[in-house]
Amino acid sequence: MLFICYLLFMPFARKRVLIFSTAYLPFIGGAEVAVKEIADRIFDYEFIMLTAKLRKDLPEQEKIGNIEVHRIGKGNHWDKYRLVWQGARYAQKLGHFDAIWGIMASYAGFAALRFKKRNKTVPFLLTLQEGDSKWDIYKHVWWCWPYFKQIFKRADKIQAISNYLAGWAKNLGAKCQIDVVPNGIATKYEIRNKKYENNAAKTVITVSRLVKKNGIGDLIKAVKILEEKYRINAVLKILGEGKLHRKLEKLVKDLKIEDRVAFLGEVSNKEVYDRLAQADVFCRPSLSEGLGNAFLEAMSVNVPVIATPVGGILDFLEDGKTGWFCEVKDQKSIAEKIKYILDEKNKGEVFKVVENAKKLVEEKYSWDLIAKQMKNIFESL
């Protein structure tokens, strides 16, 4: 009788995947959102995550969607390092795993590598979501560069969210198969029929962390050029926070365009989509990008997009077909592209580009499609 019961239930046993992620919800970033959206759509796998606690008020263990989350540390910055040194040992207590899933080649990547060395037969999937430039990454890990490269060399398979990151992995010595599976976005978002402002100004919007790599200073200077050179009445809405906030506010004040630039801070995902839908142009003149979900979100709600030809942006943006390219670190180029999109003479072309962009996003970047591709990767391990 017991044997019959075993046969009946054996096919429904779920494979167990051990996830190492430096941070997780309620901390929100592209990688954190991707892990949740993917795991919540793969029901026949059991996901157990080890992550840094980082905040004292967070529970040491909880279930979030389809992921059992275990947080390591005391609730401070040093928990990232505790994840590296204690993660592998902690995971040994959680039972057998059929696969390791390391989220990014960072603290979590080091923790996953240490677990892989202890459990050589367990396949190791490395996901690359990095958005910083190669140089910025090197500045943080130069002192352990040979060990850092082992994350790539010891992986049994790599999933990169862009061809740019796939090439980076090869350059760092990866010998395994590398699959390019991008992040998805909510392609069917209901937008409220509401205007946040009631004036004649055109709205330029960006959704960006206020850090060097996103080039927000150049975008602010472009607004000044729009006003002085082209006499265009435009307002820039900046959604996001970061360490450059005060410096950028000072730049706005020095340029005397306080009435042209609004810092709206961190807002909910719902409000991001609502504000995007009310804008006339989206622009983020990045210095580097792993992929660039904010661009895809803008494209999904019919907003013309301006970007720089860097990193993963090249996977989805084709100049004059799904968006427009401006030059890197060139506020004049940014202003010219914004002027071109706002010019009534180009209305027909802009409409066609916007339609192409939305179609691309709907066909290639839905979370349901991404989850299916990720499940295929798990099953191939």
Are 208 and 348 within one domain? yes
Asked if residue 189 belongs to a domain, the reply is: no
Question: Is residue 71 one of the residues assigned to a domain?
Answer: yes
Q: Does one domain contain both 358 and 304?
A: yes
196 in a domain, yes or no?
Answer: no
Tokens of 198: 């009631």
Report residue 219 as tokens.
């975008």
Cα angle value 30/34/36 (rounded, 5°)? 125
- Considering the domain architecture, whether residues 208 and 66 belong to the same structural domain is answered as no
Residue 230 and residue 327 in one domain: yes
User: What gap in Å lies between CA 112 and CA 118, rounded to an integer?
Assistant: 10
Written as six digits, the tokens of 374 are 């990720």
Quick count: other Cβ atoms within 10 Å of Cβ 255? 16
Model pLDDT for residues 242-275, shown as the tens digit of each residue: 999 999 999 999 999 999 999 999 998 889 999 9
Is residue 67, in this structure, part of any structural domain at all?
Answer: yes
My answer on whether 36 and 118 are in the same domain is yes
Radius of gyration for the chain, computed over Cα atoms and rounded to the nearest angstrom = 22
* 1 found inside a domain: no
Q: In Å, how far are 1, 31, 137, 148, 344 from 143, measured between CA atoms? A: 60, 25, 12, 9, 54
In a domain, 180, yes or no: yes
Same domain for 358 and 370, yes or no, is no
For residue range 147-199, list pLDDT tens digits in order: 999 999 999 999 999 999 999 999 999 999 999 999 999 877 655 544 445 45
Whether 269 maps to a domain, the answer reads: yes
Please tell me whether residues 94 and 222 are part of one structural domain: no
Same domain, 63 and 171: yes
Token pair listed for 334: 């940014």
Assess whether 240 and 162 both reside in one domain: no
State the pLDDT at residue 189: 66
Copy the structure tokens of residue 115: 């677990």
The whole-model pTM stands at: 0.92
Tell me, yes or no, whether 191 lies in a domain. no
Which of 345, 342, 324 is CA-nearest to residue 333?
Answer: 324
Which residue range forms the structural domain that includes residue 357? 202-364
State the CB neighbour count (10 A cutoff) for residue 211.
Answer: 18
Q: How many domains does the chain have?
A: 2
CATH code, domain with 231: 3.40.50.2000
> In this structure, are 215 and 170 located in the same domain?
no
pLDDT of res. 274: 94
Give me 283's structure tokens: 């622009």
Residues lower than pLDDT 50 in the chain: 2-3, 5-10, 193-196, 198
* Whole-number pLDDT of residue 50: 98
Write out pLDDT tens, residues 317-332.
Answer: 999 999 999 999 999 9
Question: Same structural domain for residues 220 and 354?
Answer: yes
Shared-domain flag, residues 97 and 116: yes
| CA torsion through residues 246, 251, 253, 259, sign | negative
